[in-house]
């Protein structure tokens, strides 16, 4: 995972799929990035390289969304593959994650 701060936006770019095998490490990296960049006002989850997202991956995104809400930060997901967009749509998360049609 890569984390970059531009102005007040922290972009976390996942290097690959969001699966149960890598979720714990990703969660740790995300929290470390948020601590490293406390001036961030918006968190963007860049899903460009996430072709597969399993239930734990969805839970990670939901937990990240909730954490941003608790900290009064903005949150959005960007660049999902069509399959990931469809999955998030089935779970009624597209609008909440800032993904529009």
Interval 10-63: pLDDT, tens: 999 999 999 999 999 999 999 999 999 999 999 999 999 999 999 999 999 999
Question: Does residue 54 fall inside a structural domain?
Answer: yes
The CATH number covering residue 39 comes to 3.30.750.24
> Going by C-beta distance under 8 Å and a sequence separation of 6 or more, which residues neighbour residue 90?
none
Question: Does residue 98 fall inside a structural domain?
Answer: no
- Banded model confidence at residue 101, pLDDT cuts 50, 70, 90: low
Instruction: Please state the domain count of the chain.
Output: 1
Indicate yes or no: pTM above 0.85.
Answer: yes
Its domain, for residue 27, covers 2-90
Question: Does residue 97 fall inside a structural domain?
Answer: no
Question: Does residue 95 fall inside a structural domain?
Answer: no
Question: Does residue 100 fall inside a structural domain?
Answer: no
**Is pLDDT of 87 > 70?**
yes
**What's the pLDDT tens digit per position in 53-73?**
999 999 999 999 999 999 999
Q: What is the spatial distance between Cα 44 and Cα 25, in angstroms, rounded to a whole number?
A: 18
């Amino acid at each position: 995972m890569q984390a970059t701060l531009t102005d007040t936006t922290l972009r976390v770019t996942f290097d690959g799929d969001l699966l149960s095998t890598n979720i714990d490490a990703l969660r740790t990296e995300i929290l470390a990035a948020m601590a490293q960049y406390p001036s961030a006002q918006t968190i963007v989850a860049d899903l460009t390289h996430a072709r597969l997202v399993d239930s734990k991956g969805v839970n990670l995104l939901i937990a990240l969304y909730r954490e941003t809400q608790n900290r009064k930060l903005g949150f959005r997901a960007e660049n999902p593959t069509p399959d990931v967009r469809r999955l998030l749509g089935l779970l009624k998360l597209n609008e909440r994650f800032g993904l529009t049609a």
